[in-house]
Copies of this chain bind each other. A is one copy, B any other.
């Protein structure tokens, strides 16, 4: 152990021995934290990790050859970053390939439009599907519609995604994507195409997962770009029926193996107690998944690595989990919860970074209210980074969304997602969309949280019900 760290440890131990468990934390060595923060702010490690992943692997669709390349990349990267323990855990995933997608307006004003298949969609017949469209503002309006309006048509669901720092506009409209095919099929539609769930006005269609149900037929499902949705509306506004022809050739191809890849920085005092830092290593296939979720991978991998590099041994184990196959249904997240069910009571905190690389601006928690004072202590150290204390009603993140059900306290280091849905699930999700200074701020917040959270001895459970 380097001399300065040893001194710090001795100092901390002195403090620890002289206080109660809740009180301890308030007296953690702020100077050490600040020096870690400074080092992290000056480091480009998280950016370099995303660069490495997006350049050396690129798009990483679950079940594709690139998926296993990602797993190998992740293991090698953890090793290069000097993690204490590196392992992987198998998951089984359905294989789906996108194929080609094309579409055109055939009447009243023929012209091509930009579409993409939604994840999991079946193909159209080879000759495509051509029909009049019937437009709905949103999924709710479709659900209320008379089947007679829908039968034999292509349903066009047309919700506008509102821009918001928290990304809350997404949740309001994503039902059109996930449930559109089932609701359309119920009413006899031939296919469904939605306005992209996105805040941009670029000529990219946003893909993303959709679902079928066992009791309705599977109809093809696609998204069109926002300018194309506007174009269709301009034609409908002229009072004329609009016909669309679409060709999709996705295919389901059995199952494949992938892995959650895990790296740990072993805790000094309580090595079996875990601070879980998550991100997902898969991505959609049309971009290089820089924001979704290369950024998260970079942030969480760099967090452990920078702590280790700065010769800080956290009191509890920092476990970095790179989940497989998040995009196609949280497969890695669910598998982790199952595989680690007996160990989940040792999970002190779980966090996930899966919302791009915008500046973190708020710390949200879900812990026993008695531990909130400790959270506020952490928030005080985050304040110089522009981060405020938030609410105690955090959701965590997609891959850890099942953990609060097991009583695991979750945290959100809430990012500014104002432009996240400009790029989300499009070919335009590429490295150039990441600002190196912003991802360094993210990493610094994660380093700060992780190292301080590992010191917290307070009783964190039971966590409150989510409002």
Contacts and interface: CB of A to CB of B under 8 A. Distances in A.
Interface of A: 51, 54-59, 66, 109-112, 114, 201-204, 226-227, 230-231, 234-235, 238, 287-288, 426-428, 430-433
B111 A58 contact: yes
21 contacts: A51-B234, A54-B231, A55-B231, A55-B235, A57-B109, A57-B111, A58-B110, A59-B112, A111-B288, A201-B430, A202-B428, A203-B204, A203-B287, A203-B426, A227-B428, A227-B432, A230-B431, A230-B432, A231-B288, A231-B431, A234-B431
B202 A58 contact: no
Given A427-B203, A428-B203, A431-B227, A234 B114 contact: no
Contacts of A114: 427
Contacts of A201: 430, 432-433
Given A58-B109, A230-B431, 9 more contacts: A51-B234, A54-B231, A55-B235, A56-B109, A59-B111, A202-B428, A203-B287, A226-B432, A227-B430
A378 to B, nearest CB: 36
- Per assembly, the copies of the chain total 2
Contacts of A57: 109, 111
B55 A234 contact: yes
A291 to B, nearest CB: 12
Q: Which among A58, A112, A203, A204 has the highest number of chain B CB atoms within 10 Å?
A: A203
Nearest to A105: B58
Contacts of A111: 57-59, 66, 288
Contacts of A287: 203
A109 to B, nearest CB: 5
A234 B52 CA distance: 9
A56 B238 CA distance: 10
A433 B202 CA distance: 9
A287 B112 CA distance: 9
Contact of A430 (B203, B288, B430): B203
Closest 5 CB pairs of A and B: A58-B111, A227-B430, A203-B427, A55-B234, A201-B432
Nearest to A59: B111
Contacts of A204: 203
A226 B428 CA distance: 11
A236 to B, nearest CB: 11
A226 B114 CA distance: 20
A220 to B, nearest CB: 21
Contacts of A238: 55
A379 to B, nearest CB: 35
